[in-house]
Amino acid sequence: MIFHQYYLDCLSHASYLIGDETTGRGVVVDPQRDVSEYLADAADAGLTIELIIETHFHADFLSGHLELAAATGAKIVYSSVAETEFESMGVADGERYSLGDVTLEFRHTPGHTPESLSIVVFEHGIDETPYGVLTGDTLFIGDVGRPDLLASIGFTRDELADSLYDSLHGKLMTLPDATKVYPAHGAGSACGKNLSTDLWSTIGDQKASNYALKAKDKATFVELVTEGQPPAPGYFVYDAVLNRKERELLDESAMPTAMTYDEMLAALERGAMLVDGRNPEDFARGHLSEAINVGLNGRYAEFAGSVLPSDVDIVLVTEPGHELEGKNRLARIGFDRVIGYVEQPYKVMFEHRDDVDIASRLTAGEFNARTASVDDIQVVDVRNPGEVEDGVIPDAVTIPVSQLPGRVDELDATRPTVVYCAGGYRSSVAASMLRQRGFVDVSDIIGGYGAWIETTQSA
């Protein structure tokens, strides 16, 4: 058996290539949208990809099933209860599929979504104990899939949580304890609230350690898994719907168009948005005045999708040489309207210094000094609910980054504003978005809440 796990850190996304060496037949499970790595690895292993299996309609990324099908001619597979605009093959609960000696068994495991399925992998078809199970977003390491993401399009979280309990206990926990667990996501994903950094575990370990699986009954389980979930980024519903549809294919080798300063200005006047992918420190030293800072060195696509609408054109600013990376990473969440990038951005900023701003970033000590000397400072905490349970800066308004675009009217654009998060990445995203929305005096705290606690306690 060939079994390869891929892990995309910026989206906490795991995908899989499984094959049978004796027959050269293979499948890919839950592929990311830029699919060249699967094609190269399959070719190196002598595998022909014949199925592309989706565990469910993903909300946190745009899957590469259409790109991979176009490149290989493979069939796209979903649970038989799923409906797609494109041609796909439905598999029944309990159905088996042989790649030769390697055998897959499909189990319907609704709960995270109605059409969720898990894939039990047998190294040999006659084995009593499976090699592993690919659980999609039904079972994570240390957590289970959140049941509330479809609440806005026809399913209540309690209905899905009820189904999730039955799937976990009736379809997955019945597997032998030695069965390895391979989920679709790890720590950092908004698809759950307590995901481990481990990329695999076993059924036995999860029975012993996973808080949700240890719930004493279904009512307790539903309460546990529906409370305290992080806010879903704004693009989640967009991607969940788009993953069902026929759409344009990504050409991951196609560079975006180089743009002059004047061409960029014309695009912004037509409604485009400017996204600066440099790190917060470089952005703060100088940036084009309309730019929103979402650093490529972090969870770029996720936070771009949190603060940008899905229906606008995008112009990129990046360190030279990273333009294609910026385009492709946005394409991973279906944000395909990258119309270009600012060519030679440092030269552009030097030649148009009247259109360059410096972003105010405060150390925790400077923030404390400012609050002591300046009246009416508006402090905004952009961390998630689970993070703020450990404490907040006094009088801070708590609005997670993913909710900020829709709640910006709760803030006063005329007041001096200081934004903070846990470390400084999200606060730079949020502060730059507020400036772009017309806030006149915005700073963020370097090192975030942790730096403030350390400074305040040592004072």
Is 122 inside a domain boundary?
yes
Judge if 291 and 180 occupy the same domain: no
Are 79 and 136 in contact, with CB atoms under 8 Å apart?
no
Same domain for 278 and 202: no
Q: Does residue 345 share a domain with residue 307?
A: yes
Question: How many structural domains is the chain composed of?
Answer: 3
* Whether residues 276 and 371 fall in one domain: no
Angstrom distances, CA of residue 54 to CA of 61, 95, 335: 12, 15, 21
Give the per-residue SS3 of 391-406.
CCCCCCEECCHHHHHH
Cross-strand pairs, 341: 258, 316
Q: Is 247 part of a structural domain of the chain? A: no
Q: Where are the extended beta strands (E) located within 200-271?
A: 201-202, 258-259
- Compute φ and ψ for 101, nearest 5 degrees: -80, -40
Written as one letter, the residue type at 336 is D
Last residue of a domain, one of 309, 326, 357: 357
**CA nearest to 148, candidates 84, 107, 194, 192:** 192
10-residue stretch averages of pLDDT, the chain, 459 residues long: 97 97 98 98 98 96 98 98 97 98 98 96 96 97 88 78 96 98 90 85 97 93 84 89 97 97 98 98 97 96 95 97 98 98 98 97 96 94 90 96 94 97 96 96 97 89
Residue 76: which H helix or E strand, with range?
strand 75-79
Query: Which residue, of 357, 373, 395, is where some domain finishes?
Result: 357
| Last residue of one domain, picked from the residues 336, 357, 378 | 357
Show the domain range for 430.
Answer: 361-458
Same domain? For 204 and 56 the reply is yes
* Cβ-proximal residues to 76 (8 Å cutoff; 6+ apart), any chain: 51, 52, 54, 65, 66, 69, 84, 86, 87, 88, 89
Q: Do residues 168 and 291 share a domain?
A: no
Residue 127 within any structural domain of the chain = yes
Q: From residue 316, how far is each of 261, 263, 265, 294 by CA, in Å?
A: 12, 12, 12, 10
Residue 249 lies in a domain: no
Same-domain check for residues 294 and 223: no
Which of 256, 233, 352, 250 minimizes the C-alpha distance to 313?
Answer: 256
Residue 151 has a pLDDT of 61
- Is 119 a member of any domain? yes
pLDDT at position 118, please?
A: 98
116 within some domain:
yes
Are 11 and 158 in a shared domain? Answer: yes
CA distance 116 to 392: 37
pTM of the model: 0.94
**Coil, strand or helix at 357:** strand
Domain assignment of residue 294, yes or no:
yes
Tell me 375's DSSP state.
T
- What residue spans of 97-209 are helical by DSSP H? 157-167, 203-209
> Residue 64 maps to which CATH number?
3.60.15.10
Does residue 428 sit within a domain? Answer: yes
The answer on 323 and 233 residing in a single domain is: no
> Max Cα separation, the chain?
75
Same domain, 78 and 226: yes
In 3D space, the residue among 251, 250, 274, 269 whose CA is nearest the CA of residue 341 turns out to be: 274
The two beta strands, 397-398 and 442-445, are unpaired
Q: How far apart are CA 68 and CA 290, in angstroms?
A: 37
Check if the beta carbon of residue 238 is closer than 8 Å to that of residue 311. Answer: no
Please give the single-letter amino acid code of residue 73.
G
Identify whether residues 66 and 125 lie together within a single domain: yes
Tell me the C-alpha distance between 30 and 65, whole Å: 8
Q: What count of other Cβ atoms lies within 10 Å of the Cβ of residue 220?
A: 13
120 and 219, same structural domain? yes
Q: What is the CATH number of the domain that holds 374?
A: 3.40.250.10
